[in-house]
Amino acid sequence: MANIIDGNKIAQDIRNEVRQRALELKEQQEIIPGLAVVLVGEDPASQVYVGRKAKACAEVGFISREYKLPAATDEEKLLKIIHKLNKDKSIHGILVQLPLPKHISTENVIAAIDPNKDVDGFHPYNVGGLVTGTPQFVPCTPRGIMEMLARTGIELAGKEAVVVGRSNIVGKPIALLLLAQNATVTMCHSKTKDLPTVTGRADVLIAAIGKPHMIKANMVKEGAVVIDVGVNRLENGKLAGDVAFDEVAAKASYITPVPGGVGPMTIAMLMQNTLDAALASE
């Protein structure tokens, strides 16, 4: 039976470390890290995430500012808010909650954020840094996964890693981070032929495809490390990951649960990225 990687505990450890460092920053240099979150529309999941971010900011001693705009807000107004936040020295991190309404260009909005305040790590400048191995900010979920692996003592060098999913938010960045740790990386997606054979080679399997229970035991190598990034709402209201947990846990050496695995790490790393931005602004 696999060891369960407790994302709640690791995330709490990180928040404690961030809180301590933020306290030192305030005492030594009178700098309080500040995070601004912009939410356009009333997507229920986005509202929950924004609330959790505000709670995390309060826990670690950050300034937290929220901008909640109606879904009909035009792109120009949103860009004006971003430009204002770019110039605000009390704000070190800017996060625009995705997805945006269809009439607003996500690319334009991300590009408008000062790369030095892009704590989501989505700006083309920061994506380029990740590709070249010199990242300023790494997207929060992939950074959280790497932190989980490191703190669990899982060695990546020379291991075969398979990533299922090629999104800009998780799949592509985690593949680059695994490469940087000298893993041999294969990326899979909807057009991959014979997926079970490919995933069955993985020493480390990252499931980020967005389909509940898609990864079955017959797709997993004995003793593999399985990281489940999926968060899927089932018809009964419960959350489920991309991995069929019970059957895969019987084969894996380590596995993350859903909920309580990767999810808590995302907000913890957002706090870490915001702290890093405040430290860099000294």
Q: Which of 9, 26, 89, 97 is catalytic?
A: 97
Q: Which of 117, 118, 120, 172 is catalytic?
A: 120
Q: Counting Cβ atoms within 10 Å, is residue 76 exposed (0-12), middle (13-18) or buried (19+)?
A: exposed
Q: Which of 9, 12, 13, 53 is catalytic?
A: 53
Residue 228 has phi, psi (to 5 degrees) of -100, 110
In this structure, the chain runs to a length of 282
97 is catalytic: yes
Decide: 114 and 94 in contact? Cβ < 8 Å: yes
Structure tokens at 42: 């009333």
Structure tokens at 223: 């003793």
53 is catalytic: yes
| Cα(70)–Cα(67) distance, integer angstroms | 10
Residue with tokens 């990034």: 229
| Cα(172)–Cα(127) distance, integer angstroms | 10
Amino acid sitting at position 224: A
6 is catalytic: no
Give catalytic residue positions.
53, 97, 120
